[in-house]
Structure 1
Amino acid sequence: MIVFIGPSGAGKSRLGKRVARLLGVPFTDTDRVIIAEHGPIPQIFQQHGEAHFRALERDAVRRGLQGDGILSLGGGAILDPDTQRDLADHRVVFLTISPEAVARRLAGDTDRPLVRNGVDDWIALNAPRWEIYERLADATFDTSHRPNDELAKEVAAWLTTT
């Protein structure tokens, strides 16, 4: 299993799908699994709180890691110590993005409950996570300014040569 991690808005889902297509492997997005099984993430946060969401997320990650292909994790999934331990057995790709680039991606997005107020929330949320992302990563790719197709080819090339 190849796992994509990184902050909200870095393009884990979009890039993960492209890389999976290039490699001819399945793609799974834990946020999409949660939505399919439990409904919209903002609604889960509102009705049940973040702790309940994180439990659902942990279950989706655990099940996803049992499969093959590429797995995209939600930005906060790496906060769980069990997930951190589990990722040691997989190749992990950390996707980064600059605050300026993410500000454009987050504009008008209401599906990310922890960054509702834009880039300032995003910076505050991700600052303490950055060390965890870096520690877990086998490779890091910046998605701030490069075309997704170019990045997907670069990530796929790294995956096939390591």
Structure 2
Amino acid sequence: MPDGPRLPDGQTIALIGPPAAGKSRVGKRLAALLDLPFVDTDALVVAGNGPIPDIFATHGEAYFRQLERVAVAGALRQPGVVSLGGGAVLDPQTQADLADTRVILLTVRPEAIAKRISTGKRPLITDLESWKRLVAQRSDLYHSLADYTADTSSRSIDAIVEEIAAWVQTEGHE
């Protein structure tokens, strides 16, 4: 077991933020550093239902959000590090569930996002302008739910993870 920061037994850290902010990448490394399980709620949805763009195309966003809600609820009931999809926080029940969770908001500046969103794996993001609109719509909500915010625009994943782990070790235990 690594010697390093720890969460009190039974606690969960949730990573929220806009699409392509780095929630999955940061989450995996943070979980490894803290010796905790990692859950990516988008990956849970994909594992049970196929690619997210296909779900959107076949069944629509509302159906996807229902699947996402179930995945998030299950993941937040377990101790560990949980990466939520960018829109998961739109659900009022998810917002309520996050009240008992350490919530880390990952942000990213527009100039750093272009390469990250070029994969075509995000059905609500087709270009930088659509990403900016989506972030503008959700920004206040993201910030209202967050206990801590880390910018992922230009620093290494390791630096971001170390920053979050330091927060967990200090303020995160209060």
TM-score normalised by structure 1 residue count: 0.97
Segments of structure 2 that go 5 or more residues without pairing to the other structure are 1-11
Which residue is 1:106 aligned to?
117
2:150 is paired with a residue of what secondary structure?
A: strand
Superposition map of 1:48-59 within 5 A: 48-59=59-70
Task: Supply the distance in 1 between the matched residues of 2:43 and 2:34 (Cα, whole angstroms).
Answer: 21
Which of the numbers 32, 37, 49 marks the counterpart of 1:21?
32
Q: How does 1:13-162 map to 2 (within 5 A)?
A: 13-107=24-118, 109-116=119-126, 118-162=127-171
Aligned residues: 160
CA distance in structure 2 between the partners assigned to 1:147 and 1:14 by the alignment: 11
Rounded to whole Å, the distance in 1 between the matches of 2:161 and 2:15 is 12
Secondary structure at the counterpart of residue 120 of structure 2: coil
Question: Which 5+ residue runs of structure 1 have no aligned equivalent?
Answer: none
Q: 1 CA distance for matches of 2:78 and 2:164?
A: 20
Q: Deviations over 1:85-128 (max 9, x none)?
A: 11011100000000110112112x11100002x11010111211
Query: What is the alpha-carbon distance in structure 1 between the residues aligned to residue 160 and residue 135 of structure 2?
Result: 22
After superposing on structure 2, the runs of 4+ consecutive aligned residues of structure 1 that deviate more than 2 Å are none
**Identical amino acids, percent of aligned pairs:** 54
CA displacement, residues 115-161 of structure 1 (integer Å, 9 cap, x when unaligned):
02x11010111211000000000000000000111111111111121
* Post-superposition CA distance 1:65-85 (Å, at most 9, x none): 111110000000000011111
Q: CA deviation at 1:35?
A: 0.4
